[in-house]
Structure 1
């Protein structure tokens, strides 16, 4: 990613801030797993979006006063003994080269500099980045910092900048689209590795392992836990046990994606375990494929996600009844019970999505109709990643197999 991209993003944040204010962003910490072990560190995506830096504990302080703006990055103090255990930490010049932030200090200096700004009455407002997906979720560092600021400085105005950053992130630059395309390309390699080895009798987790291995070969990781759902398990939207034995005649639904450079692919495909679709499986698969193609053709600026979802339902009201998957149109909720699209980017379910959302050029969305029948013991989902352009759309995942004849030909090699 280009350095000036991070500089420009921070300039946009400064433009939203009042004078005599500061904004604080945290990279986050590794989450404790057990004993002295932690889960792999995953950087706060908004911090990464503004700096391009991926290291735990870092802090970004942005200050805006009548004299102008200033940005300070706080990194770990070099500790050669500690580095013998965990490896080399980021140096000042490296942080500046990546982020474009010239003033770099050590993390312990943050509290001192922040409190001095309050003490000398140069700051009236503190902007924080507090993200909470639901009320039961563990609070992130920005929220904890906001609580501490309110307790220590009750006269300060504390404002959440999270939605501002989210709106910025929802529109993807050409460089971001290029990163997404790379993640999607790696995903394609992983899917093809699955197809080369897929057969009845193997466990679902064995099939998923081929995908994970292909990602590791390309310095990528999973965007989310891979779903490898065979037979009736495919009716469970977020099935992650992946422990069923794949049976001859099963369809197996894969929902998976590579994360590369922190950008996430999200692809779903449904394949016949034996390498050939039965006539009935073809009939059901083609209903979903028809719905997906109709939705993709409808993608353009000004369209709402709700209207795209309605296209799926309109298709099923006719085709699912005709195929006797359901007896009447009113039963659609029995076979289709999720939305057709969500935003995609630094997060798989990316930020910036709102109720009654209207598509704009720069949005990247998934298009993922599904059909799930308890009666037939089957679940089918077909998902591609699509960029909204000025004129309409661009499918970012056109080379991933999804036509029946292409799938069968590939699996017969």
Structure 2
């Protein structure tokens, strides 16, 4: 497939995202935000370097000022990776003070790190600045506070920034979804009895990587009895003809955007049993009932209260949420089911135009033989919700 994304589209998405971050900083009266989460760094600066590795190794970070420069602190000798990126005003060498990089010198390195951050805040924002931080180890945070900085929880600011998508962002996301659907179709065509779950799942990775994608966040593909309960990741289990195979892509594709789609088939693409057909019809009904409710202005609470009622036999194995946001990865909000789930972890808010959401369903009886996982990625428009994925359903099962 040919990549349809133009340079102008990419530049527009970059500018929009940085502006969203700065708007959140100004609204929170923060001079800057210090970013360590590689997804947040990607959103604000559109830089990418060893994304999965830096999720657990604090080896690169960015300092984004509300009304000042964007400074990227990059891993050793990696400055050349970002040539031509006009968002970055300065690239510095990152100071690593995690145990992997610093060993017994953690305290020494953390002091060097903190002194540089404090000096930059004083230079570009003055004394007593409020600094948002998305995540960091406690020793460094204490050093910043000891220098008079007021620290603000910054991950929520980034989630708010990421919540509303621009037209350019949606173009990037649609390309990722097209790549993901290419991978789904490849899995569909290659799937046969006698192959392992891992062999089938590898085709999704193959199509993602060869089209410029990046990684897949989970390995949620299961067959037969491993589909109930849900959340078992792909294995060496050999799939047998007629069993259910279901999956959740969680794919981070080109430009770092996420395609989060779930479908279910039978192994060998044979006709489903009556029980498989029933499970599929219920999951399909849940997804589409809830899609029909989505519109700008509906509150989280109202949506959840009006959401599809899961029949009692399937309540115990229900999915962890009804819908969730998605962008560069799964994002705010995640809406809890009505009842006890809402009481323990629900929170209110408002669905807005140009949010992108994933509508979820898992239907599998407690102790049942199999289950069905379905999910659709949708855009909230002024008229309701618009499916972003065009991958077909099993209409002949309904």
Does the 8 Å CA contact 1:268/1:384 hold for their aligned counterparts? Answer: yes
SS of corresponding position for 1:369: strand
Aligned to 2:332: 351
Aligned runs of 1:132-211 on 2, under 5 Å? 140=136, 145-150=140-145, 152-153=146-147, 155-211=148-204
Structure 2: tracts of 5 or more residues without a match: 1-9, 96-111, 335-345
Match of 2:222 among 214, 229, 247: 229
Aligned to 2:318: 336
Does the 8 Å CA contact 1:6/1:100 hold for their aligned counterparts? Answer: no
* Root-mean-square deviation (Å): 3.1
Q: Does 1:282 align with 2:282?
A: no
Aligned runs of 1:374-389 on 2, under 5 Å? 374-389=366-381
Aligned to 1:411: none
Aligned to 2:130: 126
Aligned to 1:53: 47
Q: Quote the offset at 1:215 in angstroms.
A: 1.5
How far apart, CA to CA, are the structure 2 residues paired with 1:356 and 1:115?
37
Q: Is the alpha carbon distance of 1:340 and 1:23 closer, same or farther for their aligned partners in structure 2, counting shifts above 3 Å?
A: same
Q: Quote the offset at 1:196 in angstroms.
A: 0.9
How far apart, CA to CA, are the structure 2 residues paired with 1:62 and 1:221?
24
SS of corresponding position for 1:15: helix
SS of corresponding position for 1:70: coil
Does the 8 Å CA contact 2:39/2:328 hold for their aligned counterparts? Answer: yes
Does the 8 Å CA contact 2:131/2:149 hold for their aligned counterparts? Answer: no
Aligned to 1:25: 34
How far apart, CA to CA, are the structure 2 residues paired with 1:340 and 1:118?
41
SS of corresponding position for 1:338: coil
Give the TM-score of the pair, scaled to structure 2: 0.77
Q: Is the alpha carbon distance of 1:199 and 1:128 closer, same or farther for their aligned partners in structure 2, counting shifts above 3 Å?
A: same
How far apart, CA to CA, are the structure 2 residues paired with 1:118 and 1:50?
18
Q: Quote the offset at 1:296 in angstroms.
A: 1.2
Does the 8 Å CA contact 1:282/1:404 hold for their aligned counterparts? Answer: no
Provide Cα deviations, 1:214-252, integer angstroms capped at 9, x if missing partner: 222212134312212111211233211423221222111
SS of corresponding position for 1:238: coil
Q: Quote the offset at 1:130 in angstroms.
A: 2.9
Match of 1:5 among 9, 12, 16: 16
Q: Does 1:362 align with 2:354?
A: yes
Q: Quote the offset at 1:362 in angstroms.
A: 1.8
Structure 1: tracts of 5 or more residues without a match: 29-42, 84-88, 132-139, 318-329, 409-413
Q: Is the alpha carbon distance of 1:358 and 1:125 closer, same or farther for their aligned partners in structure 2, counting shifts above 3 Å?
A: same
Aligned to 1:71: 69
Match of 1:249 among 242, 251, 267: 242
Aligned runs of 1:102-117 on 2, under 5 Å? 102-107=89-94, 113-116=116-119
Give the TM-score of the pair, scaled to structure 1: 0.74
Provide Cα deviations, 1:124-180, integer angstroms capped at 9, x if missing partner: 02313234xxxxxxxx45x65323212x32x43222233222111111111222222
Give the aligned length.
Answer: 349
Does the 8 Å CA contact 1:229/1:239 hold for their aligned counterparts? Answer: yes
Q: Quote the offset at 1:105 in angstroms.
A: 4.8
SS of corresponding position for 1:163: helix
Tell which structure's C-alpha radius of gyration is larger: 1
Q: Is the alpha carbon distance of 1:337 and 1:258 closer, same or farther for their aligned partners in structure 2, counting shifts above 3 Å?
A: closer
